[in-house]
Structure 1
Amino acid sequence: MPPKQKNKSWSALKQAGNESFKTGQYGDATNLYSQAIKELEKNSKKNPEDLGILYSNRAASYLKDGNCAECLKDCNMSLEFFPYNVKSLLRRAAAYEAVERYRQAYVDYKTALQIDCNIAAAHDGTNRMTKALTEADGPSWREKLPPIPTVPLSVREKLSQQAAGKPAPGKPAPATPAQPNPPAQPNPTPQQNGIKKTKPASSDKDMKKGQALKDEGNALVKKGEHKKAIEKYSQSLKLNPTEVTTFTNRALCYLSVQRYQDAIRDCDEALTIDSSNVKALYRRAQAHKELKDTSGCVTDLNTLLKVEPKNTAAMKLLQEVQKKK
């Protein structure tokens, strides 16, 4: 443990902690972050977000040392000072996962994805938790989850801007292999539809207009007017490009008018936002089947059945395509 560093500002102590973390001296980093927290707490002009970042940094050190209990405590403190801090959510999720509290981990991974749907670590974590919870609780596992908080639009806008642009001074926290520091791009799917993956958060006005257009599209689908519904869904997605059900609804319409590649691209988009979305997996499997891509179809159906093992439609389609092999 390094000697107590006297007469150093909290920011200098934080920087020293970051340097220790980078060189793998996690115990030293923990000590330095603790000193920084004490110094900052004494400062009358302290910024709550700065305290939140220090607790998050110390949580990363605890996580690296395998001290999940202290990591969880620090993440909770961090999120009190800096609500919806993505790094704290990801570190807490990793700690929950390590101690097999899979429901809480799932909630944190999904909350992080509300803030930035491009975080590969959160997509991967969601997939692992989905598999673990399905094995533990069966197909009704979602019913046993704690509530997933809704991230306010104003918070999503602020944090997505920080992620896409330059972070505020002092914001970066040290990375941990368990959860990469910057939001990472997800692995690209075989087909992409040209929509940029980093989508700006929609305003409340745009979201309401987008929802109204989506509702109009849904009404047209009920009437069997799939081409007109596609137009409404497309208009809706321009206003709210992160609404997963609009992509899966439009994919259904594309299937109905035999535009199978377009259906696949919409399902790709939906799965980028929600990697375990059952409708997207099923509709993409249907499109692959129509395009004679049996391998792609089987892969999607097997993935779906890991999420919902008793999905009868998926089991029936899988049997059908396997008979034709």
Structure 2
Amino acid sequence: MPQKQKAKSWTELKQAGNESFKAGQYGEATRLYSQAIKELDKLSKKNPEDLGILYSNRAASYLKDGNCADCVKDCDMSLELFPFNVKSLLRRAAALEALERYRQAYVDYKTALQIDCNIAAAHDGTNRMTKALTEADGPTWREKLPPIPTVPLSVREKFAQQAAGNATPPKPAAQQNGIKQTKKAAPSDKDIKKAQLLKEEGNSLVKKGEHKKAIEKYSQSLKHNPTEVTTYTNRALCYLSVKQYRDAVRDCDEALMIDSSNIKALYRRAQAHKELKDVKACVDDLNNLLKVEPKNTAALKLLQEVKKK
């Protein structure tokens, strides 16, 4: 008589689901994750986080298959079981964005950034949502947002510890189930202080008109703290002064990744685009700036100049 096959455990089913996902077999991955959820649910002793991760994994499969509504449902369930799970927040944000529920997507992207300010997908998503919401609701769009939850310090610390534990060996373009993260680690207090001192030295050089020397100081400062917006916008100003317009654009891009509605970054990038003869990009930046600050006289003046040409 043929032997009856032993039922697979939830961990085996999860592993099989992960392998199917990596192979691009999203329907099969969904089926396996569903079985794993059923098996784990049967157990009297179970860790809610394990169940939360399974729902999050199935949500990733739904998202890849374009089933955004079920992705949102699974992420809701995952976040009930495992609050502030970054992957679930990002997957739900992506699904909500696809469903054009931009306000909720913005809240999820912003919540993820509270946990780790270096998530590229969350920065990009926040920028896209800011643009979409400004177009839809005008300059008062922030007033119509649902409340953004405050992430407890304990959650941020736990995430930082896990990230530090997973830091070695480094993998190129670390990507898990479609979520890409930047490699910048959060600066230490010592680094932040050193960066601040170097930035102040750069500011003093700008006042003396020594822009090239100031660029060097700002560059050194950013090595210690690559998350300081004003250092990028200050260096961009220096690049404009020495006519290195493409470098100015790059610095403003970096600043806007961190703060998507930064006035100085938008204005300086517009100035650089004007010098590079990219009129459309210049006008776009000025229009975005004026959505944030409608009476900004410098932006209104530059916009008038560009449109005349």
State the TM-score, normalizing by the size of structure 2: 0.72
Structure 1 residues 50 and 100 mapped into 2: Cα distance closer, same or farther (>3 Å)? Answer: same
Equivalent residue letter for 2:282? D
Query: Aligned with 1:200: secondary structure?
Result: coil
Matched residue, 1:266? 251
167, 188, 191: which is aligned to 1:206?
Answer: 191
Structure 1 residues 270 and 103 mapped into 2: Cα distance closer, same or farther (>3 Å)? Answer: same
How far residue 130 of structure 1 moved from its aligned partner, in angstroms, is 1.9
How far residue 139 of structure 1 moved from its aligned partner, in angstroms, is 1.2
- Mean Cα deviation higher: 57-66 or 134-143: 57-66
Tell me how far apart the structure 1 counterparts of residues 10 and 132 of structure 2 sit (CA, whole Å): 41
Equivalent residue letter for 1:183? K
How far residue 241 of structure 1 moved from its aligned partner, in angstroms, is 0.9
1:299 equivalent in alignment to 2:296: no
Equivalent residue letter for 1:236? S
Tell me how far apart the structure 1 counterparts of residues 136 and 246 of structure 2 sit (CA, whole Å): 36
Contact between 1:93 and 1:108, CA under 8 Å: does it hold in 2? yes
How far residue 92 of structure 1 moved from its aligned partner, in angstroms, is 0.7
Contact between 2:273 and 2:281, CA under 8 Å: does it hold in 1? no
Equivalent residue letter for 1:224? K
Equivalent residue letter for 2:190? K
Alignment of 1:219-298 (within 5 A): 220=204, 224-225=207-208, 227=210, 230=215, 233-256=218-241, 260=245, 262-274=247-259, 277-289=262-274, 292-295=275-278, 297-298=279-280
Structure 1 residues 209 and 158 mapped into 2: Cα distance closer, same or farther (>3 Å)? Answer: farther
Equivalent residue letter for 1:247? Y
Structure 1 residues 269 and 162 mapped into 2: Cα distance closer, same or farther (>3 Å)? Answer: same
Contact between 2:245 and 2:276, CA under 8 Å: does it hold in 1? no
1:9-65, Cα deviation, whole Å (9 max, x unpaired): 112111333455556563x64443233234345375x66654332121122244436
Query: Aligned with 1:236: secondary structure?
Result: helix
Query: Aligned with 2:180: secondary structure?
Result: coil
Contact between 2:62 and 2:68, CA under 8 Å: does it hold in 1? yes
Contact between 1:131 and 1:307, CA under 8 Å: does it hold in 2? no
Alignment of 1:1-325 (within 5 A): 7-18=7-18, 24=25, 26=27, 29-40=29-40, 42=43, 44=45, 49-63=49-63, 64=65, 66=67, 68=69, 70-79=70-79, 82=82, 84-112=84-112, 115=116, 117=118, 119=120, 121-145=121-145, 146-147=147-148, 149=150, 152=156, 155-156=159-160, 158-159=162-163, 162=166, 165=169, 175=177, 181-183=178-180, 198-211=183-196, 214=199, 216=200, 220=204, 224-225=207-208, 227=210, 230=215, 233-256=218-241, 260=245, 262-274=247-259, 277-289=262-274, 292-295=275-278, 297-306=279-288, 308-309=290-291, 310=294, 312=296, 313-324=298-309
Equivalent residue letter for 2:56? S
State the TM-score, normalizing by the size of structure 1: 0.69
How far residue 93 of structure 1 moved from its aligned partner, in angstroms, is 0.4
How far residue 101 of structure 1 moved from its aligned partner, in angstroms, is 2.8
Greater relative contact order (Cα < 8 A, sep 6+): 1
Tell me how far apart the structure 1 counterparts of residues 260 and 128 of structure 2 sit (CA, whole Å): 11
Contact between 1:17 and 1:33, CA under 8 Å: does it hold in 2? yes
How far residue 299 of structure 1 moved from its aligned partner, in angstroms, is 0.7
Equivalent residue letter for 1:134? T
Percent of paired sites with the same residue: 64
Structure 1 residues 254 and 164 mapped into 2: Cα distance closer, same or farther (>3 Å)? Answer: farther
In structure 2, runs of 5+ residues without a counterpart are: none
1:208-253, Cα deviation, whole Å (9 max, x unpaired): 4434654x369748x9346476565444312111222321123234
Contact between 2:113 and 2:119, CA under 8 Å: does it hold in 1? yes
Contact between 1:109 and 1:123, CA under 8 Å: does it hold in 2? yes
How far residue 258 of structure 1 moved from its aligned partner, in angstroms, is 5.6
Tell me how far apart the structure 1 counterparts of residues 179 and 242 of structure 2 sit (CA, whole Å): 41
- Mean Cα deviation higher: 270-279 or 101-110: 270-279
Equivalent residue letter for 1:320? E
Contact between 2:68 and 2:98, CA under 8 Å: does it hold in 1? no
How far residue 320 of structure 1 moved from its aligned partner, in angstroms, is 0.8
